[in-house]
Chain A
Amino acid sequence: MIKTMKKITKTLVALTVALLSVTTSCKNYLDIVPDNIPTIDNAFTSRTEAEKYLFTCYSYLPNDADPVSNVAFLGADEIWIPPSRRGILENFNMSWDIARGSQNAGSPIVNIWNGRFQAIRQCNIFLENISDKNKVLDLPADLRTRWIAEVKFLKAFYNFQLLRAYGPIPIIDTNLDIFADTEDMKVKRMPFDTCVDYIAKLLDEATPDLPPLIGERATEMGRITRPIAMAIKAKLLVLAASPLFNGNPDYANFKDKDGTQLINTTFQVSKWQKAADAAKAAIDASELSGHKLYTFVPASNLSDTTDRQMSIRNAITERWNAEKVWGLSGSNANNLQRVAMGCLTTAFNVNNSNSQLSVPLKITDMFYSKNGVPINEDKTLDFSNKNQLRTAVREERFYVSNGYQTARINYDREPRFYADLGFDGGVWYMIANNPGISGTDESTFYMQAKYTQPGNSGAEGYYNETGYFIKKLVEWNLTNSASANTVRTYEWPEIRLADLYLLYAEALNEAKGPDEADIFVYLDKIRTRASLLGVKESWANFSNNPAKYTTKDGLRAIIKQERSIELAFEGSRFWDLRRWKDAVTAMNAPITGWSISQSTAAGYYQPRLIFAQTFVAPRDYLWPIATSNFTVNTNLVQNPGW
């Protein structure tokens, strides 16, 4: 028995050894992953690969030419759309729902929180790797410096976007490892001023290493330049100096869990001075790089009126014109033109020219009279009876079609009114397929927007809700037929020089008051381009409040209105109303339009209530952070009111 057992044991041992040797002989059997399998390290092996990562960091730049994803188009009171959202504007839970009061913390509308932090993580990965000189060995030093500066800018910009929306934000300057302790991941929001300093520092670091202008226009237009970084710094500092974030008592109780005040409650005028300095620096740098206000080269076949309008329209739509300090090469206005364009004749098909972007009457009222002062201040012109009908005379034919009957409010307005807006009877010059006298602007296109007229198709969701179309956003080469629509796209002007002028004027007035000559110098540059007299001259001659510009408050009102008109429909008002703390007034006023389902002039020109907006202050000034974040990160605090 024992003998047998021994034998068995021996045999088993022998066999075990045999079996094990079979197995171990292929000990690399499980090593099936070949070398060179793509991993993150491969992204930083060569210049070619690293360049892809650079583009990836850029990929998070906003698509601001898109009417759906740019919250500033439909999120405020500047543009309205028909209630049955059709076509491109079909989305629910888009910015328009913010305008309609549906913002909520459960699933915030236009929630950029996650996406921006992803962008920042990508930038951090890039910076970590590219800063290591042992990586991407074939990258020339000057390019390395430039790339680092560009990505630093992008990182700053993504932080700026968060800051503008949410106020105080957590600062993620370096990436945490994915295995990091959960407690370390629970980052806190930093006080607003700390965030501003942080972003400003990033921009300052980036600025000197950025090119003043783009040399390789064919392949690099759209890359970040020194003026862009300085312009964003100006915007940042203006934001930080503005009433929403500079000594706002509404946020007295807005504190972190450890009691840190997140938004200061003491006003500091010095912030305005810093903002003014930054704006001036940005203007100087831009002008040094060749940026200047756009003006249309007068065309011999066009009237002076149309020439003036084209200076205004093409400042937005002409590709890479010198006024565009920052054009978003990755965001071309295509859909935007479709939803803005109206049907000018029966040859236009509403499926291609959707007519949807509609301007509320309060926005059209904002444009000055032809004397360059607000319509309710003009002592020479009476606009009190806005909807009184009047027939256009021949002299007005480049504004309103000769002999057409429209409302009083559509006459005697400043050139920007006619350049920016399409309306019933309003002339809408387009360079192609012009029905008028060939090659001229005589008897050209004009909008007919009353019910059953070509501009009012009555099609479900494809119509204009107020009677005012946004001509400003439509490039003048657009052609439209029954079956197709051809637009000439243009890169979205994220920053125009005019914006910087206005920021500078605003900051200077706030910092020092109306005695600063520069305020009027820069305001008047903009007014001059719009064929208006200077502020002082206009008010002195035409306003029933001629001394308005002599006080800080009066001048502030003038600058705000100038800014709102000049940058109308470009996505500025949404943010301006917030930083000025004016949204609570503006966005509690009703949205109105003409009675678009009427076919007679008398019926059509009756104001119609479209929507009663509500804006809850201070809640609606800042975005809600999605509720789910607070359960994950217990160190995070919600914005007030949400």
Chain B
Amino acid sequence: MFRLQLTASGQHREPGTFNRNVMRKHLSFLLKSAARASFFVLLFMSYTAMAQNLKVSGTVRDSTGVLPGVSVKVKGAATGGSTSVNGTYTITAPRTAVLTFTFVGMKTQEFPLNNVRANSAGEYTLNVTMSPDQNALEEVAVVGFGTQKKTTMVGSVTTISPKELKGPTSNLTQMLAGRLSGVIGFQSSGEPGSDNASFFVRGIGSFGTGQVSPLILIDGIESTQTDLARLQADDIASFSLLKDATAAAVYGARGANGIVLIKTKEGEAGKTKFTFRFENTLSENTQNFKFADNITYMNLANEAALTRNPLNPIPYSQTKINRTASGTANPYLYPSNNWIDQIIKDKTLNQRYNMSVTGGADKAKYYVGGTFNVDNGIYKVDQLNNFNNNVKLLNYSIRSNVTLQLTKSTRADIRVYGQFDDYNGPLGGGKEIFQAAIFANPVMFPMRYPASYAPNIKHPLFGNAVKETVPGSSVGGGLYNNPYAFLVQGYRQQNKSNLQPQIELTQDLDGLTKGLKFRFMGYVRRNSEFDINRSYFPFYYSAGSTDGTDIVLNALNPGGAGSIGTTGSEYLNYAEGDKELSSALYTETAMNYGRTFAGKHAISGMLIATLRNSLNGNAGSLQASLPKRNQGISGRFTYGYDERYMTEFNFGYNGTERFAKNHRFGFFPSIGVAYVVSNENFWEPMSNVVSKMKLRATYGLNGNDAIGADTDRFFYLSNVNLTGGPSYSFGEDPSLLYSRPGIQVLRYANDRITWEESKQLNLGVDFSLYNALNVTIDAYKKRTSNILQDRSAVPSTMGLLAAAVANVGVQDNKGIDMQADYSKSLGNKSWVQIRGTFTYATNKIVTYDEPSYPASLAHLYRVGHSAGESMGYIAERLFTDDIEVDNSPSQAAIAGGVRVRGGDIKYRDVNNDGVINTNDRVFMGLPSTPEITYGFGFSASHKSFDLSAQVNGNARFAFFVNSGAFNGSSLSESGIAPFVQIGGYQNGLLQAIAEDHWSEDNRNAYAFWPRLNSINTPNNAVRSSWWMREGSFLRLQQVEVGFTPKQQWRDKLHMKNIRLYVSARNLFVVTKFKLWDPEVRGNGLDYPLQRVYNFGVNVGL
């Protein structure tokens, strides 16, 4: 827990050394670079020397560096001082005294001086290393519009030390799950720029289509998940998660989904302090899906064609298969590609740089942080082009937090933050390359022919072939998709900026009445984003041969007669992508009051008025373009007696522009009580064992105005397209018809639409055992009602052109959040800390607008099921043969015109009506969002080394392996069905399918894959229990080993602090699901999660 270094040195100093404050003012400071300003503050308390005293000096530090401002006191006496900016102190105290070292966020430490020995020079040195105190860190927690003392807090708030959010990733959202109790989270893509982890506070509270993710406030600025992702842990001063009604009530209309509150660091007065962090990371895919070899591919493609119809032509001749297999045939005539190997690298390198400067004097302090991250994708870059087609995300930001003490009672905080993403990547984004590689034929063409085959041609000779026609489908004619050409043909640049200046004024009104404060905060936020695509059209060639060895290249798309598909171009073409612009303006005005009377009655009150306006520059429609506004008054009133009994009342009275006038404002009150049992006198005997015990209970209401689609805000107005609806044409001449634009109703007016509300009861307990094990447990029940949903019970005879919606849904949520930490000192050179979190959140739909089903269809009711549960068919097994198909309930309704055969999936006729159709679907399995997220880890330190590890897991969720084919447009809806050709795409063959599928020779009714088919087989692709997988996993998320050189080494380097560390993420995962990383769930064909190995240096100057 702490490291005590006792060194003796021979120097002797006179007692009572007194240092004057030396301060040099630079009034021009505000106008100049903060880094160039210099302030020196040396602060020592005067001290009166006493007889038989020892003069003890030393340095106080924590794991990252020296600690200025640590209070050093003689226990039981009023004497003491604090450490200088160098972390040094000198104190004179009696031999019998005990020195106490206290610092916010650190464990208080005590050292009896009689243990201190003089060194050879007769000096008494006591160097102290402070260790973080998980409890103490939370002594003050940031809560809605303010801070509260942790010990007197009533609401359910999880806080975390920013240090725990540091990891070898440039995406902060990946650090939350498993570390914050109350967070359900997972990451479903590893693509730089798209690798935000999804996270939800206490699960997904509403099945509505509106906002379910938490409100994120960074220094009070409403921010996006990406803003959070880009935030640097180094810049964070505090991180709180508000979970229950009391904690969130002041955010009224926006608090129902939990709130993430982050404050960034502010300047520290004193000598300018620099910190640098540099990390270099090696990144690789955690798991690539495995393809079957190409001989198997061809054999099974033939099988797929023949097994459905023996008269079908086979796609690959035996000659081709044999020659490809021989290994000696010309690879350009008998190509065999492994697209993953050909376009995906084994590993890539990323860099992260971070620096901060802080300093100033009491009247003006500053914190300036800067970040520069480089995240590279995993694609190969060809020397063919001089542009980079790999993903390269440059992310840089600068933050300047300046605090000015304008008068004795007036403080101004000026924060300016700029955040910039410069993305460079392949056309269509990174995941489309994976898509292209998976949905590509491996044996019809090589990726590229050597330039020597056509010496007079300058452009690259990409391989391709003309598609054969596939019986029973419309494919045929055009060219294949060459994923390599797709990757290298161009690049996309996307730039995003976010600028947000902010000012905050705090005025002490102690003059008016003691404890009263006025505060004003306002910010402006401007976001912009654009992208540009540059690419050429590849020239494709196919190879022919007269003698089987010599190659003649045949241009496939040179333009002119017989040219197939898009004609190639030698030059780059240019296409502008989307541009997004948005702005927001926000102000809040608050009065705070807090005072303790008679030492026992702690009273506080807060009233705050807020206004928020945001505007989107490319909203897409008139209604969507109108500003979004919120207006409200919130308040908090607390009363605490003797730090034993606390009560708190909060409210939010909030308005939104979305609803009809009579529904615009909502009132969201909450009340909470807490009882610190351990502060009772009767607890005294137990306090050695249970050192702290606090009980909490809160109940209240929160709201959510972000319901329904964002573009569909004004429910009380109809939305009509007066110029683009369905129309008709008249006239004699078909080329000169008279037409008028038709009218299209996009939404019917409904002035009854109002807030989604959630009522939440939270019961919590905080306790500490032996002052070492701290546990917080919260259990809650939350009912979300007024959930907006389409009225499914509106018969089609109503003829509605747009769904009728209403606030009808009700969902119950309940769960438990737990966190525990334990710290232990092992001898005087080591300490260990263990921590764990467990979050369980489950829900059930209570009311759902659905038809009244007859008894035979009662399984179609959603009510009673979890909102995240999917509907699917119950797969019994694979049909044995065609005769069984004919004698079973007809599956024609889901077979999409493809005959159901033996070896296809047999479904259960749930309602026994002799046919399988949508009425036979049931809710199955577990929700798609995990119900349990947990994590545990430890940190340990021994001498100069420290070690930490974190294990995370998700449990109780299910997903469906997508067994369809590439659907031609959306990757997330495309599946693994082999051989299916859509456009130029043709699905590859996964090893798992090659190894285990039903075939006429192997009629395994439980094979992984049903009977092969060369076209899409809707019968086997529908969502069913056959493809459902339980996704629980446990992963070693992070391991870190650090080394901090000894003081003398650091002195030699003239560094206050230096730490070297190596870390790794996603080292392994334990799961039953083997096809791909289960954390990405159904998106197995997306950009995989990354395993990273990281080397980092942290320097403090």
Chain A interface residues toward B at CB < 8 A: 1, 4, 7-8, 11-12, 15-16, 19-20, 22-23, 26, 29-34, 37-40, 42-43, 49, 51-56, 58-61, 83-87, 90, 92-93, 97, 102, 104-107, 113-114, 117-122, 170, 172, 175-176, 178-179, 182, 185-187, 217-223, 319-320, 329-330, 332, 460-461, 489-491, 626-629, 631-634, 636
Query: Is B734 engaged at the interface, CB distance under 8 Å to the other chain?
Result: yes
Query: Is B743 engaged at the interface, CB distance under 8 Å to the other chain?
Result: yes
A98 to chain B, nearest CB (A): 12
Q: Which residues of A contact B632 (CB under 8 A)?
A: 23
Query: Is B473 engaged at the interface, CB distance under 8 Å to the other chain?
Result: yes
B957 to chain A, nearest CB (A): 29
Could you tell me if B852 and A15 are in contact, using CB atoms closer than 8 angstroms?
no
Could you tell me if B752 and A59 are in contact, using CB atoms closer than 8 angstroms?
no
Could you tell me if B720 and A42 are in contact, using CB atoms closer than 8 angstroms?
yes
Instruction: Tell me the complex Cα distance, A319–B656, Å.
Output: 58
Instruction: Tell me the complex Cα distance, A547–B614, Å.
Output: 86
Q: Which residues of A contact B471 (CB under 8 A)?
A: 84, 460
Could you tell me if A631 and B851 are in contact, using CB atoms closer than 8 angstroms?
yes
Question: Known contacts A1-B598, A40-B718, A97-B897; is A220 also within 8 Å of B512 by CB?
Answer: no
Map CB proximity to A onto B695-729 as digits: 1 under 8 Å, 0 otherwise. Answer: 00000000000000000001001111110011111
Across the A-B interface, the 4 shortest Cβ-Cβ residue pairs: A106-B917, A121-B799, A58-B728, A219-B738
**Residue in A86, A113, A329 whose beta carbon sits within 8 Å of that of B796 in the complex:** A113
Instruction: Tell me the complex Cα distance, A184–B729, Å.
Output: 36
Closest chain B residue to A87 by CB distance?
B474
Could you tell me if B622 and A38 are in contact, using CB atoms closer than 8 angstroms?
yes
Closest chain A residue to B738 by CB distance?
A219
**Residue in A49, A54, A84, A114 whose beta carbon sits within 8 Å of that of B722 in the complex:** A49
Query: Is B925 engaged at the interface, CB distance under 8 Å to the other chain?
Result: no
Question: Known contacts A30-B664, A104-B917, A221-B730; is A178 also within 8 Å of B851 by CB?
Answer: no
Could you tell me if A55 and B742 are in contact, using CB atoms closer than 8 angstroms?
yes
Query: Is B546 engaged at the interface, CB distance under 8 Å to the other chain?
Result: no
**Residue in A8, A19, A632 whose beta carbon sits within 8 Å of that of B633 in the complex:** A19
Question: Known contacts A52-B740, A489-B734; is A4 also within 8 Å of B513 by CB?
Answer: yes
Closest chain B residue to A97 by CB distance?
B897
Could you tell me if B897 and A93 are in contact, using CB atoms closer than 8 angstroms?
yes
Q: Which residues of B contact A186 (CB under 8 A)?
A: 795
Instruction: Tell me the complex Cα distance, A90–B714, Å.
Output: 41
Instruction: Tell me the complex Cα distance, A92–B1019, Å.
Output: 14
**Residue in B472, B597, B622, B857 whose beta carbon sits within 8 Å of that of A631 in the complex:** B857
Chain B interface residues toward A at CB < 8 A: 469, 471-474, 476, 512-513, 516, 589, 591, 593, 597-598, 603, 605, 607-609, 611, 622-623, 626-627, 629, 631-633, 655-657, 664, 714, 717-722, 725-734, 736-745, 748-750, 752, 792-801, 804, 851-854, 857, 860, 892-894, 896-897, 915, 917-919
Q: Which residues of A contact B793 (CB under 8 A)?
A: 182, 185, 632
Q: Which residues of B contact A102 (CB under 8 A)?
A: 892, 897
Further contacts, 19 of them, CB under 8 A, given A51-B740, A59-B726: A11-B516, A12-B593, A31-B657, A33-B657, A49-B722, A56-B725, A56-B728, A59-B728, A61-B728, A87-B474, A105-B917, A117-B799, A178-B804, A219-B730, A329-B729, A330-B728, A631-B854, A632-B792, A632-B795
Could you tell me if A56 and B474 are in contact, using CB atoms closer than 8 angstroms?
no
Instruction: Tell me the complex Cα distance, A33–B851, Å.
Output: 35
Could you tell me if B918 and A106 are in contact, using CB atoms closer than 8 angstroms?
yes
Question: Known contacts A38-B622, A185-B795; is A29 also within 8 Å of B631 by CB?
Answer: yes
B1067 to chain A, nearest CB (A): 47
Q: Which residues of A contact B730 (CB under 8 A)?
A: 219-223, 329-330
Question: Known contacts A8-B593, A84-B471; is A632 also within 8 Å of B732 by CB?
Answer: no
Q: Which residues of A contact B917 (CB under 8 A)?
A: 104-107, 627
Question: Known contacts A460-B471, A627-B917; is A26 also within 8 Å of B799 by CB?
Answer: no
Question: Known contacts A61-B728, A461-B474; is A92 also within 8 Å of B794 by CB?
Answer: no
Instruction: Tell me the complex Cα distance, A85–B474, Å.
Output: 7
Closest chain B residue to A172 by CB distance?
B797
Instruction: Tell me the complex Cα distance, A217–B737, Å.
Output: 10
Instruction: Tell me the complex Cα distance, A121–B797, Å.
Output: 9
Give 30 A-B contacts (CB < 8 Å), ordered by A residue: A16-B607, A19-B633, A30-B655, A38-B719, A39-B718, A56-B728, A60-B726, A84-B474, A93-B896, A104-B892, A106-B894, A122-B801, A175-B799, A178-B804, A185-B797, A185-B798, A218-B732, A220-B730, A220-B738, A221-B731, A222-B728, A223-B730, A329-B728, A330-B729, A460-B469, A461-B469, A631-B852, A631-B853, A634-B852, A636-B795
A632 to chain B, nearest CB (A): 4
Instruction: Tell me the complex Cα distance, A318–B279, Å.
Output: 78
Could you tell me if A632 and B794 are in contact, using CB atoms closer than 8 angstroms?
yes
Q: Which residues of A contact B719 (CB under 8 A)?
A: 38-39
A65 to chain B, nearest CB (A): 11
Could you tell me if A52 and B743 are in contact, using CB atoms closer than 8 angstroms?
yes
Instruction: Tell me the complex Cα distance, A104–B915, Å.
Output: 9
Q: Which residues of A contact B853 (CB under 8 A)?
A: 631
**Residue in A19, A32, A107, A178 whose beta carbon sits within 8 Å of that of B918 in the complex:** A107
Could you tell me if B591 and A15 are in contact, using CB atoms closer than 8 angstroms?
yes
Could you tell me if B629 and A32 are in contact, using CB atoms closer than 8 angstroms?
yes
Closest chain B residue to A327 by CB distance?
B732
A323 to chain B, nearest CB (A): 16
Could you tell me if B609 and A19 are in contact, using CB atoms closer than 8 angstroms?
yes
Question: Known contacts A15-B591, A461-B474, A627-B919; is A222 also within 8 Å of B731 by CB?
Answer: yes
Q: Which residues of B contact A634 (CB under 8 A)?
A: 851-852
Closest chain A residue to B623 by CB distance?
A37
Closest chain B residue to A36 by CB distance?
B622
Q: Which residues of B contact A55 (CB under 8 A)?
A: 727-728, 739-742
Could you tell me if A628 and B605 are in contact, using CB atoms closer than 8 angstroms?
no
Could you tell me if B796 and A114 are in contact, using CB atoms closer than 8 angstroms?
yes
Q: Which residues of B contact A8 (CB under 8 A)?
A: 513, 593, 603
A409 to chain B, nearest CB (A): 29
A642 to chain B, nearest CB (A): 10
A130 to chain B, nearest CB (A): 13
Instruction: Tell me the complex Cα distance, A105–B915, Å.
Output: 10
Instruction: Tell me the complex Cα distance, A43–B720, Å.
Output: 9
B310 to chain A, nearest CB (A): 16
Q: Which residues of A contact B894 (CB under 8 A)?
A: 106
Could you tell me if A118 and B720 are in contact, using CB atoms closer than 8 angstroms?
no
Q: Which residues of B contact A84 (CB under 8 A)?
A: 471-474
Could you tell me if B798 and A117 are in contact, using CB atoms closer than 8 angstroms?
yes
Question: Known contacts A30-B656, A52-B741, A627-B917; is A118 also within 8 Å of B799 by CB?
Answer: yes
Closest chain B residue to A12 by CB distance?
B605
Could you tell me if A329 and B609 are in contact, using CB atoms closer than 8 angstroms?
no
A83 to chain B, nearest CB (A): 7
Could you tell me if B742 and A56 are in contact, using CB atoms closer than 8 angstroms?
yes
A228 to chain B, nearest CB (A): 13
Residue with the greatest number of chain B CB neighbours at <10 A, chosen from A1, A11, A56, A122: A56
Q: Which residues of A contact B513 (CB under 8 A)?
A: 4, 7-8, 11
Could you tell me if B732 and A38 are in contact, using CB atoms closer than 8 angstroms?
no
Q: Which residues of B contact A51 (CB under 8 A)?
A: 740
Q: Which residues of B contact A16 (CB under 8 A)?
A: 607
Could you tell me if A218 and B727 are in contact, using CB atoms closer than 8 angstroms?
no
Instruction: Tell me the complex Cα distance, A8–B591, Å.
Output: 12
Could you tell me if A43 and B738 are in contact, using CB atoms closer than 8 angstroms?
no
**Residue in A32, A106, A330 whose beta carbon sits within 8 Å of that of B893 in the complex:** A106
**Residue in B622, B664, B738, B750 whose beta carbon sits within 8 Å of that of A178 in the complex:** B750
Instruction: Tell me the complex Cα distance, A221–B892, Å.
Output: 44
B36 to chain A, nearest CB (A): 40
Could you tell me if A633 and B797 are in contact, using CB atoms closer than 8 angstroms?
yes
Instruction: Tell me the complex Cα distance, A178–B629, Å.
Output: 28
Closest chain A residue to B804 by CB distance?
A178
Q: Which residues of A contact B893 (CB under 8 A)?
A: 104, 106-107
Instruction: Tell me the complex Cα distance, A87–B474, Å.
Output: 7
B657 to chain A, nearest CB (A): 5
B727 to chain A, nearest CB (A): 5
Could you tell me if B593 and A629 are in contact, using CB atoms closer than 8 angstroms?
no
**Residue in B472, B629, B752, B892 whose beta carbon sits within 8 Å of that of A29 in the complex:** B629
